[in-house]
Every structure is written in structure tokens, then in C-alpha cells.
Amino acid sequence: MASPLPIITSGSGTPLLLIHGFPHDHTLWTPQLRDLAGDAWVIAPDLRGSGGAKDPAPVQTMALHVQDLIGVLDHLGVEQAVICGLSMGGYIALALLKAHPNRVKGLILCNTRAGADDDKAKEGREATAKKALTEGVAVIADEMIGKMVAPNASPTLRTTVRDLMARQSPSGVAASARGMASREDQREFLPTITVPTLIITGSADTLIPPSESEAMHRAIPNSKLVVIPEVAHLSNQEAPVDFNREVSAFLKAL
Ligand code: MLT
């Protein structure tokens, strides 16, 4: 079968499915595609509506993303993968584990949370969706860049991340924002998780504060929590050496 999503892969070994956040694409994972290839078969798709993946549903729900990602695993002949998601990718990773536990060998949750949006957050999502459609995504990229990376991030990284966000399509951004607003609260699911779980965040993440990761760590049996100092929302890009070391050790221990 054809892959439902464009995918970039590197390396060989344990399949490691990397799920990007919002409003990102697979290039979020450039440091992992480059540096984890010796440890894993790294698989980085563009989620529908992001990067080169066209035709999002009007509301790209977590369930629709999960369906696409299972299609990617089927296309590659992967029975079980380590599922790693950052932020929105973490929301999707939890939904994938809940719906398809037999496809998951390990779970890595980065800069994410288990709860759903409250009414105020849902209003914010709708405002983001409308702004993307009427004013374009560059405006959103300019608004979000200050929360994506820490103030001490290099100008090069800042520009790379801002451009990564700005080149996403308005319809894809709107669909993803509306999809996140519709997601389920997964907090009651956490204590039932039995796969090995690594939780990574940055001490300076203001978009999803480290307290959310601490709460997931308390709720998920036998999980490990890593808080990388002076790093904000994109821990995999801001501190790739620390991030990759933790992921590599997690993969080796599986
Ligand atoms: C992300 O980085 O995926 C988003 O900022 C998550 C969110 O807005 O909830």
C-alpha cells in the first residue's frame, strides 16, 4: 500500500516514529534524523495539512492523525514502533497508544500534556484558525516564536523555527488548531499505560509548563522524567545532544 503521508527516514534498527507539533512539519526532527540514525530506524512523517501532506479534513482530529500514522507503519511493514511525539505530537501519541496498544513498543512524550483544552483555550484555537485563514501563517509564526525557543536560543535556530512555522499552509494550520481543540482528555488513561515511557521537557517551557510533564510522570507507572535546563518548548531542537542521549539510552534499555 502507498504511504498516506510523506515520510523521511534514516538509519536502521528499532522503528522510532517521530510525530511533530503545531505548526510544524517533519523538519522539526532534523537533529534526530541526523544523529539517531545509528540507534534506530528513524521515521518522520509530515502530518496531514503540514509540510508536504495535503488535503487536511476541516477538523484534523487526533483520530484522523492516528489513522494516517497507522497507515505509515503498515506501509513500512512495521508491526511495533517506539512512538515519540512533541507537543501536539504528544497528544497524537497518547491517542495512538490508546487506540492501538499492540503497535507501540515504547512511548516518548516531549513538551506535552495529557489534558484537553478548556473553553478559553478552545476560543484561542478558533481565533488562531481564523487568523491563519485571513492573515496568513507568517503572523502566527511571529507570534509563536517567542514561546517555541528560549530567549537564549541562537539567532540561527530562531530563524529556522520561525521559517518552519511560517511556511505551513493556512488551511492546514486551521485544521490542526481545530483538531487540537476537539481532543480528548487523556489524564485517566495515563495510569493504565504499561509500555516503557520517557517524558522530556524544558525547564523554560512556558507554552506547556514542566508541571504538566511532572503530572504525567506521577500518573504513568515506571515512567522516567527528564527536564532539560534553560530550554523552552522545542527541547529536541534547543538541546539536541541532551535530548538524543536520553532517547538513545531509552531505546537501548527497551
Ligand atoms: C505544539 O507545539 O504542538 C502546540 O503549541 C501545542 C498546543 O498549542 O497545544
- List, as one string, the DSSP characters of 180-201: HHTPPP-TTTGGG--S-EEEEE
Residue-wise pLDDT tens digits, 206-227: 999 999 999 999 999 989 999 9
Residue-wise pLDDT tens digits, 37-79: 999 999 999 999 999 998 899 999 999 999 999 999 999 999 9
116 lines ligand 1 (CB under 6 A): no
Interhelix angle 170-181/62-76, rounded to 10 degrees, is 110
Predicted local distance difference test score (pLDDT) of residue 125: 98
Q: Mean pLDDT score of the chain, rounded to an integer? A: 98
15 lines ligand 1 (CB under 6 A): no
Name the percent of the chain lying above pLDDT 70.
Answer: 100
Cβ-count burial of 2 within 10 angstroms (0-12 exposed, 13-18 middle, 19+ buried)? exposed
Predicted local distance difference test score (pLDDT) of residue 201: 98
Residue to substitute in 88, 109, 143 for testing ligand 1 pocket (most ligand atoms within 8 angstroms of CB): 88
180 lines ligand 1 (CB under 6 A): yes
pLDDT (average), residues 32-37: 98
pLDDT band at residue 104 under the 50/70/90 scheme: very high
Q: How far is the CA of 22 from the centre of ligand 1 (A)?
A: 5
Residue-wise pLDDT tens digits, 152-198: 999 999 999 999 999 999 999 999 999 999 999 999 999 999 999 99
The position carrying cell 524544558 is 202
Alpha carbon distance 21, 91 (integer Å)? 9
165 lines ligand 1 (CB under 6 A): no
Residue-wise pLDDT tens digits, 239-249: 999 999 999 99
Question: Does 1 have pLDDT greater than 90?
Answer: no
pLDDT (average), residues 119-145: 98
pLDDT (average), residues 92-117: 98
User: Which residue CA neighbors atom 4 of ligand 1 most closely?
Assistant: 22
Q: How far is the CA of 1 from the centre of ligand 1 (A)?
A: 31
Q: How far is the CA of 59 from the centre of ligand 1 (A)?
A: 16
Alpha carbon distance 111, 129 (integer Å)? 22
Q: How far is the CA of 193 from the centre of ligand 1 (A)?
A: 23
Predicted local distance difference test score (pLDDT) of residue 54: 87
Residue 223 cell numbers, joined: 515512567
pLDDT (average), residues 21-36: 98
207 lines ligand 1 (CB under 6 A): yes
* H runs (alpha helix) in the chain: 30-35, 62-76, 88-99, 119-135, 137-148, 155-166, 170-181, 210-219, 235-238, 240-253
User: Which residue CA neighbors atom 5 of ligand 1 most closely?
Assistant: 22
Cα distances from 236 to residues 2, 80, 92, 117, 239, in angstroms, run: 29, 23, 17, 24, 6
Dihedral over Cα of 135, 145, 241, 226: its sign: negative
Which ligand 1 atom sits closest to the C-alpha of 86? 3
Which ligand 1 atom sits closest to the C-alpha of 111? 2
